[in-house]
Structure 1
Amino acid sequence: MVEFWELVLPLLLGLLILQYLKQLWSSRNYPPGPFQLPIIGGIWWMAAGFSHDILTKLAKQYGNIYTFWLGPQPVVILSGYQAVKEGIIDHPDDFNGRPVSAYIATELKRTVGVLFASGEIWKQHRRFGVVTMRKMGVGRKIMENQIEVEAKHLVEAFACTKGQPYNPLLAITNAVSNVICAVAFGYRYSAEDEEFKGKLEAMEMMGKYATSIVALVYEIFPWMMHRLPGPHQKVFHLLKREISFAVGEIERHREHQNKHEPQDIIDFYLLQLEKSKDDPSSTYNDDNMSYFLTELFIAGTETTATSLQWALLFMVAYPEVQEKVCREMEEVLGSSESVSYQDQKNLPFTNAVIHEILRARYVLFLAIPRECVNDVKICGFHIPKGTFVVTDLRSVLLDPTRWETPEEFNPHHFLDKEGNFVAREEFLPFGAGARVCLGEQLAKMELFLFFTHLLRTFKFQLPEGVKELRKEPVLGFSLHPHPYKICAIPRNVK
């Protein structure tokens, strides 16, 4: 037995060394990056100091295009406006793939939905999403009315606090979530609903897991982690629970389907299933529908709700900005109780403030990775087909070569000398190219209408005895603020 291991161990060690040397040799063709160790690649770098600005630190050390090795898999990261532009804007078709994550390959064994899909599944569901959103009135008055209903509910929730210290997280998330629920499922939740609270728990755990060392280890050793206990198993259980919920909603809609007047995305999808049932190239099915709905709910709730939390925090931190927004609305809108999405054209400072909130606090740790579908050369480097590519959009929004005061909250980034709103090509919080955020238009409507309804009704300030709120984000896939309390003082009370 001893002789067996005396032969096998050196052989295994030799194979490991050979594989490592082969990996080092192949890495010479990629952009520079953290030194890769055998088996684990570069994750030692993150384990040494995982923080929300870790990608910024890597870019400062290795340049605006660098390689991070996830085990044996190279991940090329594009940092700063020029590198990101050259990647996803100048070469949109070369970077429109999605890598198959270990979770999809190991747990699902198939590609589903739209967010993490590629090829025909992605193309068909992306097209379906764009067309259906348009049919449901996104960007038009019909959707604006739905958002306004939730904005009024949100105002009522703040009014019930009677100016006392209040954590706005639950009320904001409920309001944003209900817009998505109306679009996807055709109904809304109460903030006290236990099912809604369960969905919040699921989103919070998924967000924390996505930027954990455990998640990185799972991507390298899925065959091992699949069998081991840990937080990943809890997250997968919660995700399956959300998918099961979507499956139940699909069945409920199927039983009461109104083919002549579809009310929500499930109704439209069921009609699409009917239309394409004889098309052998169709990727429309119940599995893809359930994942599409789950992705829509999670992505559409978490990002917009987090941005609104930052919005109120910044208004309390910069009271002079808050008052200027309110004066502008008073001067332009007068005594009118309603605010229209079209009003943003006449509210340049308010519009600039909302854009600056999205710029100063980009809500995602990083954009979802893409896959290079062709060999391509960018920034002087050859990127082979099949390489994972991450666009660091936060670095674009903080690029010191493009923004006058990137580290400061400064609405004048979006205003000219005469006070007119100025669109900036560097403003890419929703991404760009073929993979630009499907819900961009809906998110913009929500942010404007929720923000203006709240600031027309209340003056937001710190509770008595509190000097300031923490402005650094909590680490997670979405970078939300530390829990805080503020006071909403009705503006019509003198």
Structure 2
Amino acid sequence: MSALTALMEDSASVTVVLVFATLLFLVLLFKPSSKGNKYKFPPGPRPWPIIGNINILNVQQPHDTMCKLSEQYGDVFTFHMGTRKYVVITGYEAVKQALITQAEEFGERGITPAIHLFVKSKGLVFGVGESWKTMRRFTLTTLRDFGMGRSTIEDRIVEETQRLLDVFQQHQGKPFDPTVNINSAVSNIICHLVFGHRFEYDDPVFLQLQRRVNEVIQLIASPELLVYNLFPKLGAMLADVNKIKENLEKNRSYFGSVCHQHKAELNNNDLRSFLDSFLARQKEEESRNTNTYFDEENMVVTIANLFAAGTETTSTTLRWGLLFMMKYPHIQEKVHAEIERVIGKDRPPRYEDRKSMPYTDAVVHEIQRFGNVLPSNLLHQTKEDTTFRGYHLPKGTPVIPLLTSVLFDKTQWETPYEFNPGHFLDAEGRFVKKDAFLPFSAGRRACVGETLAKMELFLFFTALLQRFRFHPPQGIRSEDLGLSSLPGLTNLPRPYELCAAVC
């Protein structure tokens, strides 16, 4: 009996110890560290152990979750991705303060385990530190030298629009999916700047490059990538991670071969593209400085960044634009009327026409606002210990400046959830700029190709509306067209078909 009693007492003791250890673990888990006491994070939903707030995240549309949480916690709040604290900034005033007023503190790129795996902080989009600064300065200067934002590249865009119009016209008013042709036309503009040549729309290499970019953009926002960022050691087991790596490596392999070809043919007295200029600068740097940022990896990743960014966002915006024109035919008719009045049918649109076409200009801007192509923005992080709106954030804090919350800010837009070109027009019908129009983000990390994208959007859109009237296939009413999007890094319209009737 005494042995049984002793055993029961020992079991009870073990249970007490286990309960105490569990409670101690939970206390330590949720207790701020001594380092954390130095900082003050904004409020946010209470995290679960290990997973943080992932249990309440809409993985396919994370910006929706963030917007809803801002209604409860305010313009600035903390969201836990696993055990890591992310600071989410919402609304025009707060995002402006972070990206413009405090541009230096919030100007570093946030690097997740997945991004580090794929690009290792090289190139333009996900580059960091002095390497990124050097690549950005060089890219801006060089692209401008080759005509970005000037009449020389405008001529190229006008030529490409005519080719796109001819391809659309070949469908003879029958239904077709415009995605591949629009991607190809837009991509050819950045290809001309970067490589010095364009591709034919049916070029299999060109089509494969685009397909891989599109697949990466969709997969990079998949649940598997979220799991990888929480548990990087699972990488080899996750199919989406491996597929992204495969696509990126294949595209970079192609770009690397193009670089070697240009290097073999380089003539410093006849630089014809961004790539030629990079190679010339690389040769110059290597002759006097072995610690150059103009290395092979930066060259290939930067070119891959330009190809992807210079294709995806603009072509996606144009696809939204044609969908909106079918959805809202009364707006399409007003655009047609203004084009007829200002340009007519005998000459192609020019960028200068924009000043005389306030309604069309407003429609193009509203397509960008309502299309909301980069809803969550790209991840930022604090460059140093930073005070923001009464909170003190440590260096390296991941920050999400939520662009969708700016483009749909109720304090900035009269009817934020309606497609309304009037957002950019005054009472007399004149075009007005809006400070909260930030589809290209803002501050140090604003899109390098913003001036090029603005020119492309106006010229492609206006040329398409000059030649065609767009309507849904037979049996589908305009009012029945859906505007839901596919999950991905960018806000992609779901595949659709249209009919292009010659005006």
TM-score calculated relative to the size of structure 2: 0.91
CA drift at 1:205: 2.1
The equivalent residue for 1:244 is 253
Q: Which deviates more from structure 2 when the two are superposed, residues 257-266 or residues 124-133?
A: 257-266
The equivalent residue for 2:458 is 448
Distance 1:255 1:41, change over 3 A: same
On the 8 A contact 1:52/1:475 being kept in 2, the answer is no
| Residue from 32, 49, 70 that aligns with 1:59 | 70
Q: Provide the secondary structure at the position in 2 that maps to 1:258.
A: coil
The equivalent residue for 2:243 is 234
1:478 and 2:487 equivalent? no
1:98 and 2:106 equivalent? no
Q: Provide the secondary structure at the position in 1 that maps to 2:237.
A: coil
Distance in 2 between residues matched to 1:273 and 1:46, nearest whole Å:
45
1:274 and 2:283 equivalent? yes
On the 8 A contact 1:78/1:392 being kept in 2, the answer is yes
1:358 and 2:368 equivalent? yes
1:437-469 CA-to-partner distances (Å, cap 9, x unmatched) read: 001011111101100110000111122110131
On the 8 A contact 1:23/1:72 being kept in 2, the answer is no
CA drift at 1:335: 4.5
Gaps of 5+ in 2: 1-13
| Residue from 301, 313, 316 that aligns with 1:306 | 316
Q: Provide the secondary structure at the position in 2 that maps to 1:464.
A: coil
CA drift at 1:420: 0.9
The equivalent residue for 2:5 is none
1:68 and 2:93 equivalent? no
Q: Where do residues 202-241 of structure 1 align in structure 2 (5 Å cutoff)? A: 202-222=212-232, 224-241=233-250
CA drift at 1:279: 3.0
Distance 1:51 1:472, change over 3 A: farther
Q: Provide the secondary structure at the position in 1 that maps to 2:111.
A: coil
On the 8 A contact 1:461/1:488 being kept in 2, the answer is yes
1:297 and 2:314 equivalent? no
| Residue from 481, 495, 501 that aligns with 1:469 | 481
Query: Which has more radius of gyration?
Result: 2
Q: Where do residues 64-463 of structure 1 align in structure 2 (5 Å cutoff)? A: 64-106=75-117, 110-222=120-232, 224-277=233-286, 278-279=288-289, 282-463=292-473
Code of the residue aligned with 1:381 in structure 2: it is Y
Q: Provide the secondary structure at the position in 2 that maps to 1:234.
A: helix
Distance in 2 between residues matched to 1:12 and 1:135, nearest whole Å:
66
CA drift at 1:192: 2.4
Distance in 1 between residues matched to 2:22 and 2:250, nearest whole Å:
43
The equivalent residue for 2:11 is none
Distance in 2 between residues matched to 1:69 and 1:177, nearest whole Å:
37
CA drift at 1:384: 2.1
On the 8 A contact 1:86/1:379 being kept in 2, the answer is no
CA drift at 1:294: 0.6
Distance in 2 between residues matched to 1:174 and 1:49, nearest whole Å:
27
1:365-411 CA-to-partner distances (Å, cap 9, x unmatched) read: 31111111122222332222211111111110100011111111111
Distance in 1 between residues matched to 2:276 and 2:21, nearest whole Å:
56
Distance in 1 between residues matched to 2:63 and 2:473, nearest whole Å:
28
Distance in 2 between residues matched to 1:401 and 1:308, nearest whole Å:
27
CA drift at 1:51: 5.6
Identity across aligned pairs (percent)? 38
On the 8 A contact 2:225/2:240 being kept in 1, the answer is no
Distance 1:11 1:112, change over 3 A: farther
Distance in 2 between residues matched to 1:23 and 1:182, nearest whole Å:
53
Distance 1:343 1:248, change over 3 A: same
CA drift at 1:49: 7.6
Code of the residue aligned with 1:243 in structure 2: it is R
On the 8 A contact 1:364/1:477 being kept in 2, the answer is yes
On the 8 A contact 2:486/2:493 being kept in 1, the answer is yes
Distance in 1 between residues matched to 2:259 and 2:60, nearest whole Å:
44
Code of the residue aligned with 2:99 in structure 1: it is I
On the 8 A contact 1:365/1:476 being kept in 2, the answer is no
Distance in 1 between residues matched to 2:305 and 2:60, nearest whole Å:
30
Count of residues in correspondence between the two structures: 484
Distance 1:12 1:307, change over 3 A: farther
Code of the residue aligned with 2:246 in structure 1: it is H
CA drift at 1:219: 1.2
CA drift at 1:197: 2.7
CA drift at 1:50: 4.8
Distance 1:239 1:388, change over 3 A: same
| Residue from 31, 39, 43 that aligns with 1:32 | 43
Distance 1:48 1:234, change over 3 A: closer
1:59-80 CA-to-partner distances (Å, cap 9, x unmatched) read: 2232211111122221111111
1:189-242 CA-to-partner distances (Å, cap 9, x unmatched) read: 2332222232233123212222222112211211x1233242111111111111
CA drift at 1:115: 1.1
On the 8 A contact 2:122/2:128 being kept in 1, the answer is no
The equivalent residue for 1:3 is none
Distance in 1 between residues matched to 2:490 and 2:44, nearest whole Å:
25
Distance in 2 between residues matched to 1:337 and 1:351, nearest whole Å:
18
Q: Provide the secondary structure at the position in 1 that maps to 2:492.
A: coil
Q: Provide the secondary structure at the position in 2 that maps to 1:77.
A: strand
Distance 1:445 1:106, change over 3 A: closer
On the 8 A contact 2:121/2:127 being kept in 1, the answer is yes
Code of the residue aligned with 1:32 in structure 2: it is P
CA drift at 1:16: 5.8
Distance 1:67 1:128, change over 3 A: same
CA drift at 1:37: 1.6
CA drift at 1:341: 0.8
On the 8 A contact 1:47/1:213 being kept in 2, the answer is no
Code of the residue aligned with 1:165 in structure 2: it is P
Distance 1:403 1:153, change over 3 A: same
CA RMSD of aligned residues (A): 2.4
Distance 1:177 1:13, change over 3 A: farther
On the 8 A contact 1:147/1:446 being kept in 2, the answer is yes
1:329-371 CA-to-partner distances (Å, cap 9, x unmatched) read: 2111235412111111111111010001101111023111111
Q: Provide the secondary structure at the position in 1 that maps to 2:453.
A: helix
